[in-house]
Amino acid sequence: MELKANAPSGPIETRWERHKFEMKLVNPANKRKYSLIVVGSGLAGASAAASLAELGYDVSCFCYQDSPRRAHSIAAQGGINAAKNYQNDGDSVFRLFYDTVKGGDFRARESNVYRLAELSVDIIDQCVAQGVPFAREYGGVLANRSFGGAQVSRTFYARGQTGQQLLLGAYQALERQIGLGKVEMYPRHEMLELVVVGGKARGIVARDMITGALESYAADAVILATGGYGNVFYLATYAKGCNVTAIWRAYKKGALFGNPCYTQIHPTCIPVTGDHQSKLTLMSESLRNDGRIWVPLKKGDTRPPAQIPEGERDYYLERKYPSFGNLVPRDVASRNAKQVCDEGRGVGASGFGVYLDFADAIKRLGASVIAEKYGNLFDMYERITDENPYQVPMRIYPATHYTMGGLWVDYNLMTTIPGLHCLGEANFSDHGANRLGASALMQGLCDGYFVIPYTIGHYLASNKLDKVGTDAPEFKQAEQAASERTRTLLDVKGTRTVDSFHRELGKLMWEYCGMARNKQGLETALQKIPALREQFWKDVRVPGQGAELNQSLEKAGRVADFLELGELMCRDALTREESCGGHFREEHQTPDGEAQRDDQRFQHVAAWEHTGEGQAPKRHQEPLDFEYVHPSQRSYK
Amino acid sequence: MSAGKTMNLTLHVWRQPSGTSQGRFVTYPAPDISPDMSFLEMLDVVNERLIAKGEDPIAFDHDCREGICGMCGMMINGQAHGPRRATTACQLHMRSFEDGDTITIEPWRATAFPVVKDLVVDRNAFDRIIAAGGFVSTHTGSAPDGNAIPVPKTAADQAMDAAACIGCGACVAACPNASAMLFTSAKVSHLGLLPQGQAERDQRVLKMVATMDEEGFGTCTNHGECEAACPKEIRLEFIARMNRDFIRAGLRNRGERAGSGGTG
Ligand SMILES: Cc1cc2nc3c(=O)[nH]c(=O)nc-3n(C[C@H](O)[C@H](O)[C@H](O)COP(=O)(O)OP(=O)(O)OC[C@H]3O[C@@H](n4cnc5c(N)ncnc54)[C@H](O)[C@@H]3O)c2cc1C
Ligand code: FES
């Protein structure tokens, strides 16, 4: 299979403009004759559904929560990047493009990244027009901050609730279209199957989560915007319901899965306290702008932080990376935290934590300035840990936070199944092997507001789409497959709960496919995951019935898919014998412990093809060319 | 930190198999609960034990577990989201309770929020209120430069205070009249405080209030329970603001209607 990226050539600044012109259009009067399914109502899905409905398409939108407003995007705290250069500090579209390609460790497609940077400015305009209450300066203009390893101030934010406000903007636009009858919204519906007819994506099967009914929906094209799959690690900063099911079903129907092993471990999360823990909470990394990260110089130093004198502290990021200091990219910050803890210098009861200390900032700026900037985060920290970060340093530790991998898509955001498009975190997208802070929100909205409205038209106008109804045999087969899975899960009637399997899988993934990976560990995981999966299907206990609201059953279906995905991630990590961004293979590091890429062998996207149950998936490659940003060893010293 | 110590609790939990069936309280012992658990993690533990015994676990809504999605929500000892101020159920920790406590857990109770199962209710009436007018009608791609519309910092800050609403429904659950005034006024105020929201300001408040009434929410009689229960500390003053907007819009609308031949 040849992977056609369909990215235009020519000067990079003109590619998207030209591509837009060259794409076919659907006549305005004809748009209402086309039906589109959008699965997901996060930033990517809600912005797409609203914008497509505004254009006149007949849109159906699905989400598993009780309301589209609750999608996981709501939890994003820190901000959204845009190359506005409002601060006059030397930012530009090219610089954002450059930073993103470099930050991703040269594993993303240049054309896509450039388009993302170019459209970033429109996103801010769009959101302001919707009434998103971004932070402002006293003069009334938009405020910015620097964020996540950037040396310019290009991040727009709404207190510590940027994701919430952007999502509410998109949600309100979506509700407006729902009110106008242009979008049919299906909350509490979980997509369980993709339906492919005549080689094209023509619909889905979803479960009504209240009645348990399996329902078929047909359309002319399907758009998946179902978010990331980081919950494969069980403990993660994701909302509990986030899952891989939608894109995994698509993978099994022939969509290629790009770079599954690229996951992001966020450096500033609250450390684990015990086995009861159900999720990890992120502390926005904007905290790294003012907080200083340190551990004791000596191993096993259990003195309270206040009793450790300056000279016996190791501000290891400032020491190792003098020019970026505490603001090094996430992968670098996370790995260094792991390293000092592995050396026995970690803090807190478990020893898996490092200090994030605001004492200096409070001295310099005053507690009230710190409270204004981070008050809600400090409160959240206190609520969870019962410690007051104004008085004692926060303890933080890395946690899974984002997945750069996802369904492979071309420049038009179409997967390898014609008609199946994929947006937002669910696609393998623009971040390469490591995502920079404040760029996921940007990508989700870029895909939804400004890319798919054009590219979907091109697909619809260039393909002859026969009428397909839900009575087609492909729908019946998909319904049957979904119903059989449900029945099998309920019929096992074993002894272990779904959560216990999920926890065990999470531990395996964290240990062998987490912040640092090696051949032996990955091979071990590739033995253990299939064994765990087998045990799951023999011994899981899912109480209740299929035809009712059954949260255990929902979880069971998701965990069943994670148990397959985990294996693919390990396989991908094992095959990629280099380190790049968030993918750190211990065998491949520079003398001072940084990620060592192997551009000769791995300057490509790995895209995996499902070849049948029980058979090894096939690895395809999309070579990556760098015409504008020349691959170099990333250095943040 | 309270590591090591655990507590023994007794739960009275509302169990109702479906929206159409009868519900009742069922008592469950909840031994060995760590004070570091969140309230929902405590329910997770109880559920794991129920499943092990072959019983049906307690259904409850939740997702982010960070106090931002608004999905969780239950009455805990008669208080929406429990005893801690400005805290959602998912952010409430068991250290807020004492060893030996009995805790009563119920779903939100409101005509406009019918029970779906156990602690799960249907809050889609909120979405319909937003769909009626809780937006700025702007088409994707039509926006001017972000800095073309200066917004005074105080207006932006106040708008943000209102926009912080997570739509959980605690205000309705806490109100003796099951009124949705705090929720509706938060959106009306968020958009009404910003220059972008002016063009539709009158229509917005009229339509949202009308929908609120149609959905079966009660009237506001100034109890203030909503403000006390709100996990995001949305202030009562937004209700006063909305009332002013509503009266003004009603007056202006009447004038316009008369002028334009009653097409309204
Ligand atoms: C705590 C936290 C903080 C973050 N902070 C930032 C930040 O400051 N800046 C930044 O740029 N990024 C941040 N991110 C990342 C960013 O929030 C996400 O990557 C982004 O919001 C994902 O958006 P999305 O639209 O792709 O998916 P989501 O918002 O995850 O939406 C997925 C949608 O799909 C639906 N769905 C999923 N599966 C199914 C199914 N099987 N059937 C039906 N529907 C389904 C869900 O209901 C939901 O509506 C943060 C992430 C976290 C966890
Ligand atoms: S689960 Fe999201 S607010 Fe409680």
Ligand 1 contact via A219 beta carbon (within 6 Å): no
Per the annotation, the verdict on A345 as an active-site residue is no
In a domain, A472, yes or no: no
Q: How far is the CA of B64 from the centre of ligand 2 (A)?
A: 5
Residue A471 included in any domain: no
Closest residue in A to B131 (Cα) is A175
Asked if residue A226 belongs to a domain, the reply is yes
In the predicted structure, residue B2 carries a pLDDT above the cut 50: no
Is a pLDDT exceeding 90 seen at residue A69? yes
pLDDT tens digit sequence for A216-229: 999 999 999 999 99
Q: Which pLDDT band holds residue B258 (cuts at 50, 70, 90)? A: very low
Please give the Cα distance from A446 to A123 (Å, whole number). 7
Which residues have C-beta atoms less than 6 Å from ligand 2?
B 62-65, 67-72, 88, 90
CB-CB contact of A195 with A474 (8 Å)? yes
Q: pLDDT tens, B47-71?
A: 999 999 999 999 999 999 999 999 9
| CA distance to partner chain B, nearest, from residue A3 (Å) | 31
Domain identity same for A229 and A113? yes
CA–CA separation, B113 and B120 (whole Å): 9
Q: If you take atom 20 of ligand 1, which residue's CA is the nearest one?
A: A73
What's the DSSP call for residue A524? H
Q: Whose CA is nearest to atom 10 of ligand 1?
A: A438
How far CA B180 is from CA of A97, A399, B107, B218, B219, in Å, comes to 45, 38, 17, 7, 8
| Segment B130-156, tens digit of pLDDT | 999 999 999 999 999 999 999 999 999
Query: Where in the sequence is the domain holding A104, given as residue range(s)?
Result: 35-262+404-462
Q: Is the domain of A168 the same as that of A67?
A: yes
Q: What is the rounded CA–CA span in Å between residue A627 and residue A219?
A: 39
Q: Tens of pLDDT along B71-83?
A: 999 999 999 999 9
Residue A85 sits in the same domain as residue A209: yes
* pLDDT for position B260: 42
Chosen for mutation from A43, A132, A270 (greatest number of chain B CBs closer than 10 Å) is A132
pLDDT band at A375 (very low <50, low <70, confident <90, very high): confident
Does residue A636 lie within any of the structural domains? no
Q: What integer pLDDT is reported at residue B227 of this predicted model?
A: 98
CB contact under 8 A, A75 and B69: yes
Question: Residues of A with CB below 8 A from B32's CB?
Answer: none
Cα angle A454, A460, A464 (rounded to 5 degrees) comes to 160
CA-based nearest distance B257→chain A, Å? 22
**Domain check: are A338 and A244 in the same one?**
no
| Cross-chain Cβ contact B123/A67 below 8 Å | yes
Instruction: Identify the CATH class of B123-137+150-259.
Output: mainly alpha
Q: Is the CB of A401 under 6 A from ligand 1?
A: yes
Yes or no, beta carbons of A279 and B65 under 8 Å apart: yes
DSSP state of A451: I
Residues A208 and A351 grouped into a single domain: no
Interchain proximity B64–A70, CB inside 8 Å:
yes
Q: How many independent structural domains does chain A possess? A: 3
Chain B contacts of A80, Cβ < 8 Å? none
Number of residues that this document lists for chain B? 264
Q: Where are the domains of chain B?
A: 7-116, 123-137+150-259
Question: How many other C-beta atoms are found inside a 10 Å radius of the C-beta of residue B98?
Answer: 10
The topology under which CATH files domain B7-116 is Ubiquitin-like (UB roll) (3.10.20)
Q: Residues of chain A with pLDDT > 90: what percent?
A: 91
Residues A286, A380, single domain; the answer is yes
10 Å Cβ neighbour count for A570? 26
Find chain A residues with C-beta within 8 A of B153's C-beta. 136-138, 140
From the list A131, A278, A383, which residue is nearest B136 (CB)?
Answer: A131
| Biggest CA-to-CA distance, chain A | 74
What's the pLDDT tens digit per position in A409-441? Answer: 999 999 999 999 999 999 998 999 999 989 999
| Contact (CB, 8 A) for A243 and A229 | yes
Give the residue-averaged pLDDT of B17-25. Answer: 97
At residue A234 the predicted structure's pLDDT band, cuts being 50, 70 and 90, is very high
Do A46 and A192 lie in a common domain? yes
**Is A380 part of a structural domain of the chain?**
yes
Q: What is the mean pLDDT of chain A?
A: 96
CB-CB neighbors (< 8 A) of B116 in chain A: 210, 549
A441 lines ligand 1 (CB under 6 A): yes
Nearest ligand (C-alpha, residue A443): 1
A75 lines ligand 1 (CB under 6 A): yes
Determine the Cα–Cα distance for residues A561 and A537; give it in Å rounded to an integer: 12
In a domain, A357, yes or no: yes
Q: What is the overall mean pLDDT for chain B?
A: 94
Q: Side-chain half-sphere of B19: how many Cα atoms within 13 Å?
A: 13
Contact call for B68 and A75, based on CB within 8 A: yes
Identify whether the C-beta of residue A620 lies closer than 8 Å to the C-beta of residue A611.
no
Q: Cα angle at A589 between A523 and A637, to 5 degrees?
A: 145
CATH number where A294 lies: 3.90.700.10
Is ligand 1 within 6 A of the CB of residue A165? no
Catalytic residue among A154, A330, A517, A533: A330
Q: Which amino acid is at A24?
A: K
Asked if residue A475 belongs to a domain, the reply is no
- What's the whole-number mean pLDDT along residues B26-30? 98
Q: Tell me: do A232 and A258 sit in the same domain.
A: yes
pLDDT of residue B264: 32
CB within 8 A of B260, min separation 6: which ones?
none
Residue A97 has a pLDDT of: 98
Of A131, A379, A453, the CB nearest to B191: A131
CB A234 within 8 A of CB A228: no
Mutate-to-test residue for ligand 2 from B42, B87, B90, B120, highest number of ligand atoms within 8 A of CB: B90
Q: What is the mean pLDDT of residues A455-474?
A: 97
Instruction: Calculate how far, in angstroms, residue B169's C-alpha sits from the geometric centre of ligand 2.
Output: 12
- Please report how many Cα atoms fall inside a 13 Å half-sphere around the Cα of residue A517, on the Cβ side: 34
Which ligand sits nearest to residue B60's alpha carbon?
2
pLDDT in tens, B110-137: 999 999 999 999 999 999 999 999 999 9
| Closest chain A C-alpha to B258 CA, distance in angstroms | 26
pLDDT of A545 over the 50 cut: yes
| Chain B: closest CA distance from residue A271 (Å) | 12
Instruction: Answer yes or no: is pLDDT of B1 > 80.
Output: no
Question: At residue A507, does pLDDT exceed 60?
Answer: yes
User: Which of A69, A161, A449 comes nearest B140 by C-beta?
Assistant: A449
A36 has which bridge partners?
A59, A221
CA torsion angle for A105, A106, A112, A118 (degrees, to 10)?
70
CATH of the domain at A58: 3.50.50.60
- Taking CB atoms and an 8 Å cutoff, what residues of chain B touch A276? 34, 36-37, 41, 44-45
Find the mean pLDDT for residues A372-391. 90
Of B57, B71, B84, the CB nearest to A543: B57
Sign of the alpha-carbon dihedral angle for A383, A385, A386, A390: negative
Q: Which residues of B touch A386 (CB under 8 A)?
A: 1-2, 36, 93, 95
The DSSP code for A275 is: T
Chain A, nearest residue to B133 by Cα: A176
Pairing verdict, β B75-76 and A257-258? unpaired
| SS3 assignment, position B248 | helix
Distance CA A381, CA A393 (A): 11
CATH number of the domain bearing residue A546? 1.20.58.100
Closest residue of chain A to B116, computed from CA coordinates: A210
**Do A165 and B160 count as a contact with CB atoms less than 8 A apart?**
yes
Nearest residue of A to residue B94, measured between CA atoms: A384
Q: What residue spans of A131-223 are helical by DSSP H?
A: 162-179
Give the one of A171, A453, A548 whose C-beta lies nearest to B140's C-beta.
Answer: A453
- B263, pLDDT greater than 60: no
Give the residue from chain A lying closest to B60, CA to CA: A551
The whole-number pLDDT of residue A635 equals 77
Partners of A59 in the β-ladder: A36, A183
- pLDDT for residue A148 is more than 80: no
pLDDT digits (tens, 9 = 90+) for A8-60: 999 999 999 999 999 999 999 999 999 999 999 999 999 999 999 999 999 99
Q: Do A544 and B130 touch (CB under 8 A)?
A: no
Q: What are the backbone angles phi and psi of residue A201, rounded to the nearest 5°? A: -70, 120
A13 found inside a domain: no
